[in-house]
Amino acid sequence: MTSEIIYEGNLRTKATHLKSGMQIISDAPVDNNGKGEAFSPTDTVATALASCLLTIMGITAERKAWNIVGAKASVNKIMSAQPRRISTIEITIEMPGSLDQKARSMLERVARNCPVAKSLHPDLSQKLIFQYNL
């Protein structure tokens, strides 16, 4: 098993990663009867996408001896009402240092093909913006 999630009441859950013991708290968002005091489950999905693409870019960068330490992803999740679901995830990736066009193309390709990106429904729009030399 990967994790265990406990419903704590008041629209809050606590997920525990069984191997490490690390925990994630989630709350329902304010616009869906919650307090919004932690990541909502849909926030976690959008954040997982950004984390996955940075991780897969990091794997590629390490293999190629490119330094992308400090790369940053900013996430914007857009919900639709009917049905209530994530309609769009916008991610801006700020890349430090200087990478040539070949490196940039490779990193962008692996990011767009990270496992989370390929696991999400094709109706969910994934908009990735890459910014370099910041």
Q: Are residues 64 and 123 in the same domain?
A: yes
Q: Are residues 71 and 53 in the same domain?
A: yes
Q: Are residues 27 and 45 in the same domain?
A: no
Q: Are residues 13 and 54 in the same domain?
A: no
- Structural domain harbouring 70: 41-132
Q: What is the 3-state secondary structure (H, E, C) of the chain?
A: CCEEEEEEECCEEEEEECCCCCEEEEECCHHHCCCCCCECHHHHHHHHHHHHHHHHHHHHHHHHCCCCCCCEEEEEEEEECCCCEEEEEEEEEEECCCCCHHHHHHHHHHHHCCHHHHHCCCCCEEEEEEEECC
User: Does residue 134 have a pLDDT over 70?
Assistant: no
Q: Which residues pair with 14 in a beta bridge?
A: 6, 25
Q: Over range 97-118, report the average pLDDT.
A: 96
User: Does residue 32 have a pLDDT over 70?
Assistant: yes
Q: Are residues 19 and 47 in the same domain?
A: no
pLDDT digits (tens, 9 = 90+) for 5-14: 999 999 999 9
Q: Are residues 21 and 77 in the same domain?
A: no
pLDDT digits (tens, 9 = 90+) for 38-80: 999 999 999 999 999 999 999 999 999 999 999 999 999 999 9
State how many domains the chain has: 2
Q: Global pTM?
A: 0.93
